[in-house]
Structures are given as C-alpha cells and as structure tokens.
Structure 1
C-alpha cells in the first residue's frame, strides 16, 4: 500500500499526470490553477519530459494539437477565461480525433470575473467546448483524491476513444490541501497509436496526416456521423456517478457535483436529525450525463429533485431533461464565487417540502 501525502490540489494534479505517463505539458499561468504549471515546471525536466510555458493559452492548445498528433500523452491546464481562449483549438483537436487531457480549475465569471471558486463553466464544458458537432468526456471530481484518480482515467479514455478529455474542478479543489494516495490503477487495454500517429513513415508507404478540414460536404457529414457513433459508445461505456442514500424512499433527492456535493452530504446528515430524508445523485461524468441515476430514483422521491450548484443554474437543465417532467425539479445556487451554505440549502429544502417533518 502506498503512503498518503498531504498535497495541494493543483500540485496533486501535476503529480497524477506524471504518474499517468504524461510526456509533455504546455500551458500558461492563470489563477487559480497556476500551481499545476509551477509543479510540472520543476518536475518534468528532471525526469526527461517536456514542460513549456507558452506565450498564450491559444499557443498552448495548438502545441497540444501538434504533440497529440505524434501520439505522445500530453496535457494542458487553465482556468475559465483561459479555457475560452483554448476553445477553437479544442474543437480542432476533437475534429482531428487526437487524445489529450485538459484541466479546468473553474473561477467565477463571466469575463475576467474573479478568482474565487465557481461551477459556471458547465455549459462550456458539456455542450461542446468549441464550435461544431462534438463532445468530450468531462470528469468532475469532488476531492483531491478523486481528482488524482480521474486524471489517470481521463488519459486512458482519451487514448481509447481518440478524443480530448476534460477534468473540471473548482478553485477550492485547486487550492485546498488533502491527503492523497497514488494508487496502482487497473490497466485498460489501450489501442496502438502507430495506426494513426504522425511520427514519420516508419516503413509505411505513406505518411499519416492529421487534419480536421473536410471541404467536401459529403465527407464532412460522414466524419461527423463517425464521431457521433463514437460519442454514443462513450455514453454507453463511460458514465460515472455516485448515489448517496438513494436506496430508500426520500422526501427529496439533491443533485450536485464537485465540492458542492460535499456540502450537500453534510446537509443530508443535518436534515436527518430533523426527520427529513434526503438522497444525493452526484454526477462524476458531466458528459456523458448519468441519466440512469434518475431512472433508479424517480419512484423513490416524494417531492422530486433539487439541483444545487455554484452557478446561476446550468446543470439543472440536464436534470430536467433526465427527469422528463415526471417529477418537479427545483434549483438552488450561488454565483460569482460565492459558496452555498448548508443552512441556506436546508432552508430551500424545507421550502420545497413544506417544513420539517
């Protein structure tokens, strides 16, 4: 059994990437994720790997495009406005079917906003991340330990499906410290990259060419349908979620992800002392979204669902789509870097169910 280390979230991200065999990192500093780059700047050169601080976020994501095209495992990290600058490159990477990992440690917006934690990049991450018909798997850890575990999983999923993958945490996860253990992961069967990587002819008749440009409409449609088939496979095989106290009849089921879900678990414990039964659905993959969790709980919740977010209400739309009008869906959120308080969430719950039991 490996020892536990007390690490800051951003530094744990860097170490997890190294242990997942990330060979190259390209990034640009922005609060609250700058320590990811700072950690890798110290560590990567010492172990013979590449660290490069680009001149901008746009340059960094295009370096990822080139590096991923050679088949090397690579990663970039940023925070909300920086991810916006990377969005064109992310679309190119998805279109060219290149594997990479993108870290987003979310801060409040819109615009430059502030440097406090938020979950207001949900739409950006789950509804594309750039232009065109594409998706990318988005992982939402609730602890530094889970973030470490999911980074390795994201690298594997990126290789298996030839797609960019995002690990999205909020500023709290990046800045807080918790004990982490770098566990031996279950190894997945990974495809041979030599079938597509642009790394020289290597005895082949032709060079491999990396491209996302299709000028003939029929060819672009065929490519989009190919991507759609891949996304359906990801939906079938890669959904992750947690059900907490959902194996019983509940007055209400909360839906929350990331660090906000930890606050909700404390609310559930407090509510039980007042005779209020609550469950929690915690999406771990924000895309693909865990619709099955709602099928499992739809007949076990008296007053429906409450989406709790650090945003003005973004994930609540996916909750409503999953519920399909069969039960009420309410929303409670704080925005601009404000963190939901357990007492305020409990007050909202009592408002919905009509007071304490």
Structure 2
C-alpha cells in the first residue's frame, strides 16, 4: 500500500471513529465546563473575593496542588463568573511563559516594553489599574532563577491600588522559597487543593462525556477514573485523554488507551521541565544509589558538565518535592543506619527522559543498563 492509499483508507477509518464524538472541545485541556466540578476549597477563595469587592481589603492566597487537581480551571472559571456579578476584574498570567517580573508586567500591559526599568514599568502598570483587581499568577514557582526574589510579588504587595494576589503552584515548598519581605507584605493564606478521588474524577469525566459524546459506557468511564486515581496521582488530564482515546480508538482496550494517554502526558511534562530539573532526573536515573544525597552529588557533577550552577541542597530537595507533586518521582522514606533518609524512585520510562535530554543538552550520559 502506498502513502496515498493509506491516507485515503485512514481518512475513512478516522471519520467512522469520530462519529461517536459530538463535541471535540471537551477533550481540550483549556476547555472550561459551563458547570465544572466545584471543589470545597474554592469556596474560601470566592468568599475572599466577595469581601474584597465590598471592602477593598484583599486576602492573598498561595494555592498549592498537584498537576491536574483543578487549580487553573477553577481560577479561569471564576474569571468568567465573578466579574459579571461584582465590580472586580481578574487578570491571569502563566509564569511559565512569562517568567520574570518584567515579562509579567509587559504581558499585563500587553506592550513591548524594552528599554524601561522595572520600577518605571510597574509605575505604568499601576496607572493602568482602574478598579479592584484580582491577579492570578499561575505556575509561579517556574519563574526564572534570574528573578530569584520574584519582585512582582513585593511590588504588588506594596501597591497603593486595590489588588488581590492568587498564586498557583505545584510545588509544596513554595512558601519556603519566597522572599521574606514579600511574604511579610502579602500575608499569604496557604490553601491545598487535594488530589481528586475516583468518585470526583468519575463525575468530571461524566460531565464531559454527556456534553461531548453521542454515547458512552458508564462502566468504562468508572474504570478510567479508578486507574487515574491509582496510577497517576489523580491527574485529570490523563483521565480526559484516556476517554478520548477510548472513544476514537474503540478497537483498543481501556488499559491500552490509559497507558498511551499516560505516556503522552509524561512526555509533555518532561519537555516542559527546566534544565535543572531535567538534570536532577538524569542524576536519579543514572546513579547506582537511589538515596537523595548520592543523587545530589551526581546532579552537581552533571551541572558542571553543562556549565550550569547547581542548586543548593535545600533548593534541590525542594525541587524533588515539586517533581513528586507532578508525578515523575516518588520519595520513599528509608532507614539508613540510625537515621531515616529518602530514596528517589522514578515513575516513568527512562527512555523518555533521555530522548528529551539528547535534544536539550550537548553532553548527557547514556541510560544506565
């Protein structure tokens, strides 16, 4: 069969499989349901927003939770409904894509601001605020090391304009890393978005299935929810992609669809990691010992081979917590002599990591056999 014949045949196959889907947008990670699953934790944030609307006195939040726990979706949904019923406006910035205070302010101003100082840029930004405003800074832990103090937080905390700050992060140790002056000024309320349980993921999948599919198997939806809870740290993105594969590739088992979805998500997550976190994972994959201290020693050597400055041990350990929160490693407490330490267990196929490293770095050790 030549390529032309294959394209013609597969076009027919894909068209047949797609008939089960009424609306493909429900499988988009940016999809915001009309009535999303409401987490009980979000009610505290809503109440704080309403008090801010009435009083002008802000309560600032640091919302911590694993990937796929609904942090971003909740904030984007609130940005749709809260301004419509209050005098508040909401502004959202992803700090992965705008990873310095300067870039964040330029994004909020929607301008190219080269040649300006940070203070001048913040002055322009302050002048643009015309009312009570809620600023959502997503993935704030991924701001560049060049902006170690995350100056935007201090500037917002000292602003004379009525502003409320909500930071979203996967890193459970975020507050330890923040500048002391910023923490003191912001008076952050820390909130944890716990992982969804199987029943909650089942409800999320059913909402999407009812809106987007012509028909679905309730038993298979429940099976997807159970596997997601058990094997992926309750990452709803894996569940949603599994449902998509299950519908569009009906000849495959639910287990096969789940493994394909999980692999896709892991590839996306690893590709999005910083160079430093890639080197930490590489050290964990390479080291004969899986103890955190021994992995740190190899990580430092790898950094030097790439002309990178390694993290301090404290910051390295904090990043291990982040890598665990996104489901790439498991930290297992182990007795070593008279004390306890942690072992690092990678939870994905190492070949994915090394494929990414070969593209990112000039000199990376081969996978350990």
TM-score normalized by structure 2? Answer: 0.28
Q: Considering fraction of residues, name the structure with more helix.
A: 2
TM-score normalized by structure 1? Answer: 0.29
